[in-house]
Amino acid sequence: MTTDTESLDPFVAELRRWVDNEVLPVVDELEHSNTFPDKLVEAMRDLGVFELMIPKEYGGLGANYVTYTGVVEELSRGWMSLGGILNTHVIVSHMISKFGTEDQKQRYLPQMAKVERRGALTITEPNTGSDVQAIETSAVLKGDEYVINGSKLYVSNGRRGKIFALLAKTDREIDPRHRGISCFLVQPDFPGFNIVREIEKLGYKGIEACELHLDNLRVPVENLLGGVEGRGFVHAMSGLEVGRLNVASRAVGVARAAFEDAIRYAQQRETFGQQIAQHQAIQLKLGEMGTDIQAARLLTRWAAGQKDVKDRSDMEVGMAKLFATEVAGRAALESMRIHGGIGYTKEMRVERYYRDVPFMMVGEGTNEIQKTVIARNLLDRYRID
């Protein structure tokens, strides 16, 4: 299920061939052994995937977000975890590109383009999820360093990341609370940075999710993102818009994989003397799945186009993330139903899709949060004076 526009994008077309030839033959073994895909990540680096969204003047390709969504869809059609490995790298490079000082851009973006440093984002804490303003990690300026104390959870790429965008409170008394949050660019070799464990997950295998303890973590003052305190919440929200585009695109990729497996199986499996694809009940499922997936893809591409031309696109990106992940949930379940009993076993890929989808419904802001963001934007747009 590809579009003419996608077929004309040489980067996406090349990535599609790579997924078919290199990812699909090995994904089941990597997934079930929960093995980090070092060789696939190295190939992604060689293909230019990690430098895709970094500006040209800092060694990247400077692609647009429409291309990016196509890339993430193809990666996730092969394995959703590959889209996640890329996600935080792009989020952090976006935050540095958009908000960083020139010194920060020169220091980190060329290294990120060469994948000498992979990016990771640290927001969530033991008592804080979607309510970012409630974070408890503190940062206190002492001389020419900030001393940071606290804990962070569910840090994707936490063990392999080499540059972390980390949120901490620099002012606990200010109102509104979000003005007391700052963002720091943290290297894991800074004193006081500790990885304490990896957290087991239902799905989303291969990529690590870590817990971090920050014990008097010392961060040079020049690593305060943008050089100004109190802007961290804005930095993070902009980065999470990019992250939600990634999650929406991953959802389209997983939904497409579930659909393609289902329609292929429906033409191979026979019951009552004919292919199950000839049974009306199966055709109804396939018709609805195909329509939903195309709608999710177009909504995601539209949101990406809005992100390319607008400074803020939280409503559009929220719509794409909400709709695409719910479509992926339905597609995974319907694909399992079409496969029947064998779809519930590890012999078929559909059980992986079924485990991967719930993460996308809650990751980068739950779908319930997306609904409130969308509604607030709509109320503002249609406000009655």
pLDDT of residue 9: 86
**pTM of the complete model beyond 0.85:** yes
In the chain, what are the domains? 4-113 (1.10.540.10), 119-230 (2.40.110.10), 234-379 (1.20.140.10)
Query: 338, 265 in Cβ contact below 8 A?
Result: yes
Q: Tally the C-alpha atoms within 13 A of residue 309's C-alpha that lie toward its C-beta.
A: 7
- Catalytic residue, from 31, 73, 145, 364: name it: 364
Residue 147 pairs in a beta bridge with: 140, 218
Query: 109, 55 in Cβ contact below 8 A?
Result: yes
pLDDT digits (tens, 9 = 90+) for 255-276: 999 999 999 999 999 999 999 9
Query: 85, 246 in Cβ contact below 8 A?
Result: no
Report how far residue 203's alpha carbon sits from residue 351's, in angstroms, rounded to the nearest whole number.
10
Give the contacts of 335 (CB within 8 A, at least 6 positions apart).
258, 259, 261, 262, 289, 343, 350, 353
> Residue 200 catalytic?
no
Residues of the chain with pLDDT under 50: 4-5
Report how far residue 240's alpha carbon sits from residue 12's, in angstroms, rounded to the nearest whole number.
23
pLDDT digits (tens, 9 = 90+) for 293-314: 999 999 999 999 999 998 889 9
pLDDT of residue 2: 52
pLDDT of residue 6: 52
pLDDT of residue 362: 94
pLDDT of residue 129: 74
Query: 222, 145 in Cβ contact below 8 A?
Result: no
pLDDT of residue 5: 47
Query: Of 310, 165, 135, 185, whose CA–CA distance to 240 is shortest?
Result: 165
